[in-house]
């Protein structure tokens, strides 16, 4: 009887652990690495959705002085709102545009 109870408890524990892992994986993304490019520099993330600011920051750029242009075929889509959420796709391409003040010499 004790062995049956221990086995039952173990199975329930393993189910709970798997459910927790699944919930955690869904909360942080799929775990699948997405490769995208900013200014022809390779970037990687496991998050399917990032804000414009996050994409710029991951590329080492300041979202206060830059915005993104998404290159989709022959179309160029401007993303100026740093809080805009973008659904990333494999090998997606962006270019950054400096929008800060131009220093005078």
The predicted-structure confidence for 59-94, as pLDDT tens digits, reads as follows: 999 999 999 999 999 999 999 999 999 999 999 999
Q: Are residues 39 and 21 in the same domain?
A: no
**Is the same domain home to 64 and 87?**
yes
Mean predicted lDDT score pLDDT of the chain: 83
50 and 16 both lie in a single domain: no
What's the rounded Cα separation, in Å, for the pair 24 and 14? Answer: 15
Question: Do 43 and 74 lie in a common domain?
Answer: yes
Q: Do both 22 and 45 map to the same domain?
A: no
Query: Which pLDDT tens digit goes with each residue over 79-88?
Result: 999 999 999 9
Work out the pLDDT band at 5, boundaries 50, 70, 90: very low
Range of the domain at 73: 34-98
Whether residues 72 and 85 fall in one domain: yes
Tell me if 93 is assigned to some domain: yes
Please report the pLDDT score of residue 27 as a whole number. Answer: 45
Say if residue 14 is in the same domain as residue 60.
Answer: no
CA separation for the pair 91, 31 (Å, rounded): 17
Q: What are phi and psi of 68, to 5 degrees?
A: -110, 150
**CATH, residue 93:** 3.10.20.30
Number of domains in the chain: 2
83 in the same domain as 52: yes
Q: Read off the DSSP letter of residue 80.
A: -
């Amino acid at each position: 009887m004790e062995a049956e109870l221990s086995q039952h408890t173990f199975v329930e524990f393993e189910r709970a652990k798997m459910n927790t892992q699944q919930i955690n994986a869904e909360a942080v993304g799929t775990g699948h690495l997405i490769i995208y490019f900013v200014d022809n520099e390779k970037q990687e993330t496991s998050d399917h959705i990032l804000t414009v600011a996050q994409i710029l920051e991951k590329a080492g750029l300041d979202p206060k002085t830059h915005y993104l242009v998404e290159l989709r075929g022959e179309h160029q889509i401007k993303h100026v709102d740093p809080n805009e959420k973008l659904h990333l796709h494999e090998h997606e391409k962006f270019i950054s545009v400096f929008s800060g003040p131009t220093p005078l010499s």
